Structure 1
Amino acid sequence: MYLVGFYSPKAKSGVTELSLSIYKWLKRNTYLSAAFISYGTLEKEEPSNELVHEFSKLSWAEQKRKVKKMKKEYDIIIYDASSQLSEGVLKLLPIVDRLFVVGEEHKDFAVKLYQTIQFNKIFDKSVKSFISQLQGNKTAIIRENKEGRVIGFNYSEKEANDIGQMVYTDYVTYYLEMKFIEKNKKIYNKIRKIPKEELHKGLYELGIDFEKALLFHKFIVLREVLGQDYNEALESLFPLLIHSSFDELLQKFQKELYIIAQFKI
């Protein structure tokens, strides 16, 4: 379900030792089904279905298929991405659900990597729609630790428990985020099936206040008058319907009316 990457931009940074310790901590201290992926070869660990060696030898397509399959089988997967700056590792980093950069000395690098991944998502066709953007927001979040520093770990046995707790807490947050997204997707799909002439009635039947449903319908009509496709208008305004009060929705509607009036003048 959930893929956590541990990475460092330089070799021999302790990434493998740290990521393995977190995998073992999760097995000892949580109810989660955990698995481990190593980009390279693990000398002291026996390969198995849940402990994968030599991930680098798989093609890019095979790596993605393997991750997709394992995310269906396990609650959490720890990905040891230690191999210096390699194209293979960097290609996979954006698809992890959480990314931790090992070594406090790499905190500036961690910030720049996060910004680069976020920037690239702007041009990614797979995250253009609202629902996809919601799902995309989980990608490569670099959390902060208790002291407020950018994530980076000077690994020691003493810190393994703190880092394990952090990863576990992050998993719980992610799980709740996914439930929230699934709920919104179900609501959105129901709204899409409502005949557009009866949108306000259908929204009211789904539990939306009548005044808010009527205003939202008018908002959609306004966007159509401006030349926006109905389904595009529905998707772009859906977050306002779900997360805004009637007054906030009205304010947004009036603002767009004002802008139109200014253009007509």
Structure 2
Amino acid sequence: MYLVGFYSPKAKSGVTELSLSIYNWLKSNTTLLVAFISYGPLEKEEISNELIHEFSKLTLIEQKRKVKQLKKQFDIIIYDASSQLSDGVLKILPIVDRLFVVGDEHRDFAVKLHEIIQFNKIFDKSVKNFITHLQGNKTFIIRENMDQQVIGFNNKKKDTDDIGQMIYTDYVTYYLERNLVENNEKILKKIKLIPKENLYSGLYDLGVDFEKALLFHQYVTLREALGQDYIEVLETLFPFLINYSFAELLDKFQNELHFITKLK
């Protein structure tokens, strides 16, 4: 479900040792199902369903297929991408949910690489869904704080506990966010199926307070009267329906109405 990448732009930087220690920490300190992918060969660990060696020998299509399969079976996948800077590593890194770049001296590199990865994710439908409508609402979208997404650190064993805790916390947050997004996508789909003229009663049937449902209907009607597409209005205003109280939604509606009246 959740893919964590460990990487360094230089060879023999201790990435494998560190990522294996995090893998073992998660297995020992949590009840999560954890898998490990090694881009290169491992000398001591035996190959198993949860411990994959020599990932580099698979084609890019096979790599992505394997990751997709593992995500269905495991809660967290640790991806040891240790290698010199290579085309194969760069092609697979954009699918990670969190990236660690080993070595504090590589912090600038980490930020640049993260920017590239985030840019690539813009075109991934699974990531792009809802980002447009929920921009700025950190409850539902991937956190925007760069420091939380990419971290440069010195490769020391004493860091294992801190990094393990960080990954576990991030996984829990990711799990909650993902489920909230999926639940709200389902609700929005149901709202889109309600006949336009019965929007308020349809919302009430879905569990929205009657007054709030009626106000939302009026808000949608106002936006539509201004020339906006009905479905687009639903998508734009949906986050406010979900996150705002009746009083907050009323205040937003009245402010917009007042602004429009002044323009006229």
TM norm. shorter chain > 0.5: yes
Partner of 2:142: 138
2:113 maps to 1:113: yes
Match of 1:32 in 2: 32
Cα contact 2:6–2:79 (8 A) shared by 1 = yes
**Alignment deviations for residues 122-151 of structure 1 (CA, whole Å, 9 cap, x no partner):** 455655442687799438976559xxxx62
Partners of 1:5 and 1:98 within 8 A in 2? yes
Matches within 5 A, 1:217-232: 217-232=217-232
Change (3 A) 1:19 1:33: same
Cα pair distance change 1:106/1:251, threshold 3 Å: farther
Pick closer, same or farther for the CA change 1:114–1:255 going to 2, 3 Å: farther
In structure 1, the gaps of 5 or more residues are none
Quote the residue 1:198 is aligned against. 198
Aligned match of 1:75: 75
Structure 2: gaps (5+ residues): none
Where 2:112 maps in the other structure, the secondary structure is: helix
* Pairing of 1:85-124 with structure 2 (within 5 A): 85-122=85-122
TM-score normalised by the chain length of structure 1: 0.84
Structure 1 residues 132 and 2 mapped into 2: Cα distance closer, same or farther (>3 Å)? Answer: farther
Partner SS state of residue 152, structure 2: coil
CA 1:79–1:138 in 2, change beyond 3 Å: closer, same or farther? farther
> What is the Cα deviation at residue 229 of structure 1?
2.6
What's the TM-score, normalizing by structure 2? 0.85
Q: Distance in 2 between matches of 1:177 and 1:126?
A: 13
Please name the residue that 1:163 is paired with. 163
1:121 Cα offset (Å): 4.2
- AA matched with 1:152: G
- Deviation of residue 154 (structure 1)? 1.5
**Secondary structure of 1:49's aligned partner:** coil
Q: Is the 8 A contact 1:10 1:85 kept in 2?
A: yes
1:188 partner SS: helix
2:158 is paired with a residue of what secondary structure?
Answer: helix
Partner of 2:6: 6
Residues 101-125 of structure 1: CA distance to partner in whole angstroms, max 9, x if unpaired? 2111222222333334334444556
Verify the 8 A CA contact 2:201 2:213 in the aligned structure 1. Answer: yes
Q: Aligned partner of 2:205: which letter?
A: E
Per the alignment, residue 241 of structure 1 pairs with 241
Quote the Cα distance in structure 1 between the aligned partners of 2:169 and 2:254: 42
Residue equivalent to 2:48: 48
Give the CA RMSD over aligned residues: 2.9
| Bigger mean CA offset, 183-192 vs 72-81 | 183-192
SS in 2 for 1:208: coil
| Contact 1:95–1:140 (CA under 8 A) maintained in structure 2 | no
User: Which letter does structure 1 place at the counterpart of 2:201?
Assistant: K
Question: Is 244-253 or 20-29 further displaced after alignment?
Answer: 244-253
* Aligned equivalents of 2:133, 2:70: Cα separation in 1: 23
CA distance in 1, matches of 2:127, 2:27: 33
Aligned partner letter, 1:138? I
